[in-house]
Amino acid sequence: MQHALFGGGCFWCTEAVFLQLKGVSAVTSGYAGGHVQQPSYEQICNGDTQHAEVILVQYDETQISFAQLLDVFFATHDPTTLNRQGNDVGTQYRSVIYYFNDTQQQQAEQAIDALKAEGLKIVTELSPAPIFYPAEDYHQNFFARNPSQGYCNFAIPPKLMKLHSKFQDLLKD
């Protein structure tokens, strides 16, 4: 099993998307990239810790590649807005790819370069994977456990529709 670490806004949203993908065996919401050890949700929400809301994706590269995960990542959030995804504003909602090895770094750089070649102004941060801190239990698998929660109903269905229309071949059966 391999790991990928992405931040694309609210981790409830990114988690809901990546859980739909074949080859993905687990998605853990959490925090990375800040200066406080074991941060809480309340701490990162004020923006002082500099952590991003992220998801740690565990995947089987014989079923889905890192490049395919990158395609889904870029298609299901806005990598052109700095520290913002929709109504979520702050450094904790930044677009970020944390890489675990040289191959992930190179593939992420290639994906970013390809988007820039299309004329997009990509602000996605690309950095080595820092310490990952799992979020509190109530954040894990949030959308599946709270499908009628207001924010989830507003933000997640459009992402899932885009996923289902563009990446049918990557979806779990």
Task: Give the residue numbers annotated as catalytic, written as ranges.
Answer: 10
Residues 60-73: b if buried by 16+ CB within 10 A, e if exposed: eeeebebebbbebb
- Helix 11-18 to helix 66-75 angle (10° resolution) is 130
Cβ atoms of residues 19 and 170 within 8 Å: no
Q: What is the DSSP letter of 34?
A: S
Structure tokens at 3: 């790991």
Range list of H helices, 97-148 = 102-117, 142-145
Q: Which residue type does 145 have?
A: R
